[in-house]
Structure 1
Amino acid sequence: MKNRNNISLIALLVLFFIAQTSCDDMFEPAIDNHKDESELVDMPIWAVGLLGHVYIGNPLDTWQITDVATDNAVTNDRASGLRAMATGSWRANNNPLNRWQNLRSAWNYVNIFLDVADDVEWAADPLVDLMFNDRFKGEAYGLRALLMYHLLLNHAGPGPDGQLLGIPIVTEPENIDSEFNLPRNTFQECIDFLIADAERAMSLLPSLYGDVTDNNNVPEKYREMGVIATVYTRVFGNHSRNRMSGRIAKAIRAQAALLAASPAYSSGSDITWADAANFMADVLGELGSNPIAQIAPDGHRWYADNSAIGNLNEGNNPREILWRSNRANNVDLEREHFPPTLFGTGRVNPSQNFVDAFPMLNGYPIGHSESNYDPNNPYANRDPRLAAYVVLNGSTLGPQSVTVNTAADGPDFNALNRDGNSTRTGYYLRKLLNPAANPNPNSETPGHRYRAFMRYTEFFLGYAEAANEAWGPTGTGAHGYSAYDVVRAIRQRAGIGVNGNDPYLESVMNDTDAMRELIRNERRLELSFENFRFWDLRRWKVDLNEPVMGMRIQGGNYTEIEVEDRAYQDYMYYGPVPFSEVIKFDNLLQNQGW
């Protein structure tokens, strides 16, 4: 008989999951919200509510912009923990990126669920019961893989003897009587565990949820049992979209493989660049036999079409989006990031470093002799993504197309360093903001939005990175397309090149080192302000301390200025285990340097 552990869930969460699962056989909720596992067996709504707790704590469901702790940007928020972290205050007991307790708590909810799932009667119909059990267990395994990936991102690192460590792998539910003084498993063991969980999820879940009207489209394993289309749809239909699916589990496996193959982690696992490329290709294969042809034309501005997002049916995704949050309709981001005269607080200020990373329209980096870059007219003939992602001096913004003057001698509070909400770099953020939204409290106009948890551009660029390292710029492995092919398509989408030509790309197509730098730069631009840069710099083990620069414009003259130094130490390529945990448990080893 399994041990029964006390748990507590809020009734609102239960009611939410009644609507989400659309299962008539999931009985009415109990009169109180304190249940042990023996009761969960007879109350499937409460059991599945355990997974609801994990979904609510999804580590991807945040608008936190970690780019302000890198060379991409600074923040004007003096109280920002990320600003303090980047400028010398990062400690094991002062860590704004600490995910240890929250994600391991969510992990325990998954373990409790898996402990009871096979004993729960999910529906009176045995076939429906089987399919619900498969689905919910598949979700649980996929969610646990997601939690593992983010725990490794935040807390994996070399222990005292240099061996790369992950987290303690716990597979049984924990309660007050459990043994908590556990050693950390190796990074290799954690990656193996993650991949096994992801592949279990893939075996149990459909690649994509959706209604089925033809019995022949029911998956064979269920069709052979006698499941018909309407019954299959009851469990795996449209109502379940944007929950953990087979393709999301594939994506988590690919993300973890890219991490494991990267310079900071490769010594701790047997995952190769070819493995990472193959896993990335598995994700891209969800787009069809020729993924390059399926790159979304507007994927680099997935957030900007207010009407399209507003008309997006619940559960459906545009071609660019693999997984997303529910839609919202508000001015939250605009209120935070618009310049002061547009009723924002200008919190994220892109850096000159970031602006300089955008090539010229002809594709050459601005420092290249063929670029035709003019330092006295620095924003002319640039990559169109620059103006799409950054509010430059003289840009217009908002539904009224207000001109924003960021020059030091500008006429209002949008000017460089004019007050606490003004830009510190000479730039404001445009990316992620809805151009139709207006935070003016006297005429507020909300905008439609969602958080992109995963989008295909990430996996195209992940494939390009891994394929270049495994097979060179033009090698294809078993997939029919190369790193070069991906980069060419991404840059064409952005509008780079003249008359369809990209001479700079052609010049590096046989040079693995030069292609690596180009891929990394494209990743920097395309995934900017979506919480990739901080982790990328660290997994690549490249310089974390490039001073953050800005642009002072005065009297029509352009002068670069230093805005903020970075103060990272070499051991900070890996995050710490929380100090509060290592002082409690002597078997829990801290990462070197912390």
Structure 2
Amino acid sequence: MKINFKIGLLITGLAILASCTDLIDPALENIQNKERLRERPDMVQGLLLNAYLRIPTNSFSFSEVATDDAVTNDLTSGLLNVATGQWASNYNPLEQWTNAQSAIQYLNEMLAEVANTEYASNPNVNQMFIDRMTGETYGLRALFMYHLLRTHGGIAGGELLGVPVFQESQTVNSDFNIPRATFAECLQQLYGDIDRAMELLPMDYRNISNEEVLPARYSAMEVQTGEYNRVFGDDAKQLLSGRIAQAIKAQAALLAASPAFNLDNDPSKWIDAATFAGEMLNDIGGVSGLDPDGVTWFSNISMIDNLGAGDNPSEVLWRGSVGGTTNDLETEHFPPTLFGNGRVNPTQNLVDAFPMANGYPISNNSSGYSPDAPYSGRDPRLSQFIVVNGSTAGPSGVVINTALDSDTNDGLNKVETSTRTGYYMRKLLRQDVNLDPVANTGQRHLQPRIRYTEIFLIYAEAANEAWGPTSASSFGFSAYDVIKAIRQRAGIGTENGDEYLESIRNDQAAMRQLIRNERRLELSFEGFRFWDLRRWDLDLTETARGMSIVNQNQFNEINVENRVYRDHMIYGPIPYSEMLKFSALQQNTGW
């Protein structure tokens, strides 16, 4: 009995010891070294997926609340702190350094490993998978470089600098303490990555029905249509394509040509931006390719609800997932009487930027604008994008009273979720969402990463600077043509032939201001204004204003929020934590 008891203790002890060993030493399955990684194509592709998940435009930033376009009633907002004087190198809610550099590290690892794994037993299919994922990786690396340059590029030591360039994955033995490359060097790295991506990727992912349209390299490999479709067909829609890579190149070129980043006003940079955008627009028929329903892309209910898997409306080049039925946007931004938090409040500054329907700015003597009826006869986009006093909203068409003496919580500064400016945001929101707790319903939403209207506006801005307002260069359409089409689509100047546009059609400076204003309106609340003001090197300190209404007929402009920026803040800072770690880094001047 004693012997059996001792044997039992021994067995129990060994079992406990074995379990402790398992507890202390991770199981083999959890140690994914490179050899095991290469045996798991899904894990290699996970490197690429990690970068997709980090794309900054996967959600709306609402950085407009740090500009003259909007304020927020969320008094804990980091963007409010940025706008009111707390922006610093150790406090930067807009920082992209960590996110983008992490994505680039994953992408560099992907480039090192993508060809070391078998993705399909068919050699042709396997090679096409390698080509596609390599192309995606280069395109995504360029995308993250663009966001790094936009967010952290700036002048240091009298020189325009970008960020450190890492073309290989870093290990614990790598030297991380390297200086920032020049802005020009970073841009060339970005362009090179785009060119590599476009060599490997189709312009669009789609099924083909015959081998005559195969790319030459795959014809030489005797690839079959079914094999091609497996890799580059409909199932790959919404992955980064050659056309998306083109768009990233145009975005980066516009940044590089802009006053804050084009210190010697090199005209060739404007030509580059116009050329990259123009080539894209030629592929969709030029100005005739402008989506007639593109203004209301966010509320085209039938289109959104019936959008097929991976498909885009003609306005959208690249988007995230449409997803299921949600109401998050409406919960955040509907007025209080619709059970929303009213977070983003458009300013009077932005409202004033909408012209009259006849095309004249409201400050022009020919506009017909009346301060006593400030919302009458205006650009139709005003009512499509902004809830003004007396607008109807929500699934039952409730009248929204934003007046100071409103008898609802929608009124000016009534409660913490009320408007601070006299306006609520309508754009991006679906009015058929019901937030009533008794009958709560959600709807599908479109989340674009790149819209074609942005490409049209890139072309208009760059072409005006490169060749003047009416020169079509080799593309067959001019900056003037683009702006005319955009305004016609919006319903501007339909009865008078857009007299204002015609009056400035040969004035480059006036056209520049009009293009910038059209960009402000068309891309409002989509995260552009904050960056546009900076790349244009414009005044950042315009006070955010609102409208106080009494008795429904007394309109008084009010100051809502001061903007506290200093001149050097046209560029963002290098994170303070990075400056502490790496002596080779130079901080942008003023930070």
Query: If the TM-score is normalised by the length of the shorter chain, which range does it land in?
Result: over 0.9
Query: Is this contact kept in 2: 1:163–1:268, CA < 8 A?
Result: no
2:318 pairs with one of 314, 323, 337: 323
Q: CA deviation at 1:568?
A: 0.4
Paired with 2:129 and 2:40, the residues of 1 have a C-alpha distance of: 14
Paired with 2:496 and 2:44, the residues of 1 have a C-alpha distance of: 56
* Coordinate RMSD, CA, aligned: 1.3
Q: CA deviation at 1:128?
A: 1.1
Paired with 2:498 and 2:425, the residues of 1 have a C-alpha distance of: 28
1:46 to 2:52 alignment? no
1:551 pairs with one of 547, 563, 566: 547
| Aligned residue in 1 for 2:24 | none
2:339 pairs with one of 330, 338, 343: 343
| Aligned residue in 1 for 2:383 | 387
1:297 pairs with one of 292, 295, 301: 292
Q: CA deviation at 1:218?
A: 1.7
| Aligned residue in 1 for 2:222 | 226
Q: CA deviation at 1:196?
A: 0.5
Query: Is this contact kept in 1: 2:358–2:495, CA < 8 A?
Result: no
| Aligned residue in 1 for 2:88 | 91
Q: Secondary structure at the match of 1:448?
A: coil
| Aligned residue in 1 for 2:309 | 314
| Aligned residue in 2 for 1:68 | 65
What is the aligned length?
562
| Aligned residue in 2 for 1:457 | 453
| Aligned residue in 1 for 2:110 | 113
Q: CA deviation at 1:306?
A: 2.4
Paired with 2:280 and 2:37, the residues of 1 have a C-alpha distance of: 35
Query: Is this contact kept in 1: 2:336–2:410, CA < 8 A?
Result: yes
Query: Is this contact kept in 2: 1:247–1:286, CA < 8 A?
Result: no
| Aligned residue in 2 for 1:122 | 119
| Aligned residue in 2 for 1:518 | 514
Please tell me the residue identity of whatever aligns with 1:324: R
Q: Secondary structure at the match of 1:32?
A: helix
| Aligned residue in 2 for 1:189 | 185
Query: Is this contact kept in 2: 1:165–1:186, CA < 8 A?
Result: yes
1:375 to 2:371 alignment? yes
Q: CA deviation at 1:498?
A: 3.2
Query: Is this contact kept in 1: 2:47–2:106, CA < 8 A?
Result: yes
What does 1:419-568 align with in structure 2 at a 5 Å threshold?
419-499=415-495, 501-555=497-551, 556-568=553-565
Q: Secondary structure at the match of 2:454?
A: helix
Please tell me the residue identity of whatever aligns with 1:225: M
2:129 pairs with one of 123, 129, 132: 132
Q: CA deviation at 1:223?
A: 1.4
| Aligned residue in 2 for 1:275 | 272
| Aligned residue in 2 for 1:21 | none
Paired with 2:66 and 2:283, the residues of 1 have a C-alpha distance of: 34
Query: Is this contact kept in 2: 1:210–1:237, CA < 8 A?
Result: yes
Paired with 1:116 and 1:95, the residues of 2 have a C-alpha distance of: 34
Q: Secondary structure at the match of 2:545?
A: strand
1:151 pairs with one of 148, 152, 158: 148
Please tell me the residue identity of whatever aligns with 1:306: I
Deviations 1:390-418 (A, max 9, x none): 00100000110000000000111100011
Paired with 2:107 and 2:162, the residues of 1 have a C-alpha distance of: 19
Paired with 2:364 and 2:265, the residues of 1 have a C-alpha distance of: 38
Q: CA deviation at 1:228?
A: 1.4
Paired with 1:78 and 1:376, the residues of 2 have a C-alpha distance of: 32
Please tell me the residue identity of whatever aligns with 1:97: L
> TM-score with structure 1 length normalisation?
0.93
What does 1:244-255 align with in structure 2 at a 5 Å threshold?
244-255=240-251
> TM-score with structure 2 length normalisation?
0.94
**Bigger Cα displacement from structure 2, 477-486 vs 113-122:** 113-122
Deviations 1:268-304 (A, max 9, x none): 89651111100111222331xx321111011011110
Q: CA deviation at 1:122?
A: 2.4
Deviations 1:361-411 (A, max 9, x none): 100000101000010000000000000000010000011000000000011
1:174 to 2:170 alignment? yes
Query: Is this contact kept in 2: 1:413–1:422, CA < 8 A?
Result: yes
Q: CA deviation at 1:40?
A: 2.5
**Bigger Cα displacement from structure 2, 37-46 vs 498-507:** 37-46
Q: CA deviation at 1:500?
A: 6.1
| Aligned residue in 2 for 1:15 | none
Deviations 1:454-477 (A, max 9, x none): 000001011000000000000112
- Structure 1 gap segments, 5+ residues each: 1-29
Paired with 2:515 and 2:211, the residues of 1 have a C-alpha distance of: 45
Query: Is this contact kept in 2: 1:188–1:268, CA < 8 A?
Result: no
Deviations 1:330-379 (A, max 9, x none): 11011000111110010000000000000001000001010000100000
| Aligned residue in 1 for 2:8 | none
Paired with 1:293 and 1:584, the residues of 2 have a C-alpha distance of: 53
Q: CA deviation at 1:34?
A: 3.5
| Aligned residue in 2 for 1:575 | 572
